[in-house]
Amino acid sequence: MKAFKDAGHLFRLASVFLVGGVLFLALRGFLVPRSFGQYGHYRGNAIKETAALPISYAGHQVCESCHADILEVKSKGVHKRVACEACHGPLAKHADDPASIQPAKLDTAVLCVRCHEANLAKPKSFPQVVSAEHSGGAPCDTCHQPHSPAIVAVAGASQ
């Protein structure tokens, strides 16, 4: 078989590819995590691992079960849809053990502008102020009550 003999180098090339392919498959079997594809195109165990992470946010229902007085105020104000921890930060530890873990005091001069600083990209209907002109750097809670911030009485300016 002269043809076979003269094509010998092609078989060698093919076997290089073959070895490469087998090596790749072996490597793949070794590297792809066992639980990959269990539920979808991701590592199935990732769900369990994420679920096992410590919880940092308790959720506003939990806060409200103890701080009913705040809820009372807040649910009547314009911030009724803003969750407690959007301002107070993650407080699951405090909710578990309120006696020993005290939430940090908030500085309204930096907190409120996070949402209310005027910005072209925000919808026009969202209440915004240019804080430098509006309060001149004074903490917002000198005039606004954080849990119910609308200032209604002032000269009937807003309803």
- Residue 124's binding partner among other proteins, ligand HEC, none (Cβ under 5 to 8 angstroms by kind) is none
Contact pick of 52, 104, 120, 155 for other proteins (by CB under 8 A): 120
Alpha-carbon distance of 134 to 146, in angstroms, equals 16
Q: Which is nearer to other proteins, 41 or 105 (CB)?
A: 41
Cβ-contact 77, 87 below 8 angstroms: no
Alpha-carbon distance of 38 to 134, in angstroms, equals 55
Stretch that binds other proteins, among 32-40, 90-98, 106-114, 126-134 (CB under 8 A): 32-40
Is 158 an interacting residue with respect to ligand HEC (CB under 6 A)? yes
Write down the least CB distance from residue 146 to ligand HEC, Å. 4
Alpha-carbon distance of 88 to 108, in angstroms, equals 11
Query: Which H, E and C letters describe 62-125, residue by residue?
Result: HHHHHCHHHHHHHCCCCCCCCCHHHHHCCCHHHHHCCCCCCCCCCCHHHHCHHHHECCCCCCCC
Is 138 an interacting residue with respect to ligand HEC (CB under 6 A)? yes
Please report, as ranges, the residues that interact with ligand HEC according to CB under 6 A. Answer: 58, 60, 62-67, 70-71, 74, 78-79, 82, 84-88, 91, 94-95, 98, 103, 105-106, 108, 111-116, 126-127, 129, 131, 134-135, 138, 140-144, 146-147, 149-151, 154, 157-158
